């Protein structure tokens, strides 16, 4: 039984655009992990039996080793790999912009982690199983970005970054900072631990710390 997560196991044109998806997602603060590229028939049957693949889909098609036309992804965050619909929706938009078909658009069996190259829906699973493959996938070329588009992208990136959960290694320090009032969060209570710190925010933190240490010395 074989299933791979190696991007190099994909067809070369698909692999190149898969890497482009990861790069574009990373620019927006989306940490994407490829969980699967190709699989053999035994692994496909196991997925179908457990309900992870469409009923009756016991032979791999786009994921097949002889095809290498599909890959699956998740959010690269322990404990939250598949529970963020907004994450998959945005990654799906990026994938479609590049030229992939996104499994999240499927009506009968939505598969949000899944992307495949089927030439805009022109090639079906039956065709791939019959080894009738789509033509090479065009390389995605970014259009020149306007200042307005860049500003919007950065605003979206910073917003997503601020919403990410902090790492466990900082738990003790975060608890102390919140207890002492050093970290208060925004108007909604979001501490924005993964966001960037502006000079304005840094000045506020220094002022709070100076006031805190001054009070402790006075005691």
Give the pLDDT confidence of 134-168 residue by residue, as tens digits: 999 999 987 777 888 888 888 888 888 888 888 88
Report whether pLDDT(111) > 90.
yes
Report pLDDT for 54. Answer: 63
- In contact, 183 and 190? CB cutoff 8 Å: no
The answer to whether the predicted template modeling score (pTM) of the entire model surpasses 0.75 is: no
Task: Report domain extents, the chain.
Answer: 7-129, 166-218
According to CATH, what is the number of the domain 7-129? 3.30.1380.10
Report pLDDT for 146. Answer: 84
Report whether pLDDT(53) > 80.
no
Q: Which of 3-17, 46-60, 139-153, 194-208 has the highest mean pLDDT?
A: 3-17
Report whether pLDDT(219) > 70.
no
Q: How far is Cα 190 from Cα 216, in angstroms, rounded to an integer?
A: 27
Report pLDDT for 133. Answer: 97
- In contact, 102 and 115? CB cutoff 8 Å: yes
Neighbour tally for 134: CB within 10 Å? 20
- Residue 120 makes CB contacts below 8 A (sequence gap 6+) with 99, 101
Over residues 55-85, the pLDDT tens digits come to 666 578 899 999 999 999 999 999 999 999 9
Report pLDDT for 193. Answer: 86
Q: How far is Cα 177 from Cα 183, in angstroms, rounded to an integer?
A: 5
């Amino acid at each position: 039984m074989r299933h791979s997560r190696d991007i190099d196991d994909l067809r070369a044109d698909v692999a190149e655009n898969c890497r482009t998806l990861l790069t574009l997602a990373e620019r927006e603060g989306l940490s994407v992990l490829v969980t699967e590229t190709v699989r053999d028939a035994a692994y496909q049957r196991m997925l179908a039996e457990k309900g992870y693949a469409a009923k009756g889909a016991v032979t791999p098609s786009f994921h097949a080793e002889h095809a290498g036309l599909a890959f699956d992804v998740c959010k690269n965050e322990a404990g939250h790999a598949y529970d963020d619909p907004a994450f998959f929706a945005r990654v799906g938009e990026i994938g479609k912009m590049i030229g992939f078909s996104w499994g999240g658009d499927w009506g009968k069996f939505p598969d949000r982690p899944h992307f495949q190259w089927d030439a805009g829906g022109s090639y079906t699973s039956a065709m791939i199983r019959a080894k009738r493959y789509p033509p090479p996938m065009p390389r995605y070329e970014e259009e020149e970005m306007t200042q307005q588009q860049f500003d919007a992208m950065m605003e979206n990136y910073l917003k997503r970054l601020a919403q990410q959960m902090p790492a466990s290694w900082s738990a003790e320090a975060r608890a102390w900072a919140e207890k002492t009032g050093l970290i208060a969060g925004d108007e909604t209570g979001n501490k924005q631990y993964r966001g960037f710190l502006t000079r304005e925010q840094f000045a506020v933190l220094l002022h709070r710390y100076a006031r805190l240490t001054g009070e402790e010395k006075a005691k």
